[in-house]
Amino acid sequence: MASYFCTSDGRVLHVIPGPVDAATLLREARWVVETFKLAQLEGQDDPMRFQTFIRKAHADRLRQEYGLNGRDLPAPSYGAVAMPLLPELARGKKHRQQIGQQAQAHLLLATYPMPRIDQVYALVFERILNQRLSTGPVVVRN
């Protein structure tokens, strides 16, 4: 399970991997709404500035809450279609298991700001949540 906060055209602003309690969901929803509003002010007529603001917000959360600074992050990739696996994103001694699922989500969105949801949902499920995605049809049993 993952909760996605997206723009109307399906670009991911924020993701919360796994189940969380109501207080956490509300806190994260407030954060993404406020971040979105500030990004709109910053990049009113410039989509790249808007995207850069969103990227910086995720990078700031990584620094403030998880101790990952700019040296630990790869350069951002805007509009990337093929994304590497998450272990390659954190440099040095930080590994994805050590930083936790929410930090991995921030790491993903700081590296690939505002990807389309269809570009990241499989990565979130398989690499952050360690769940297999099934391509088989859903079977309903009575």
Tens-digit pLDDT profile for the chain (142 aa)? 999 999 999 999 999 999 999 999 999 999 999 999 999 998 888 989 999 999 999 999 999 998 887 676 777 777 654 555 454 555 444 444 467 899 989 988 998 899 999 888 888 988 888 888 877 777 888 7
Contact 76, 110 (CB under 8 A): yes
Residue 45 DSSP symbol: T
The pLDDT, as a whole number, for residue 79 is 66
What pLDDT does residue 36 have?
A: 96
51: which 2 tokens?
Answer: 């995207």
- Distance, in Å, from the CA atom of 80 to the CA atom of 109, rounded to the nearest integer, reads 12
Q: Is 27 in contact with 15 (CB distance < 8 Å)?
A: no
The whole model's pTM is what?
A: 0.82
At residue 50, the pLDDT reads: 93
DSSP-assigned states of every residue in 77-90: -TT-SSPPPGGGTS
Residue 96, pLDDT score:
45
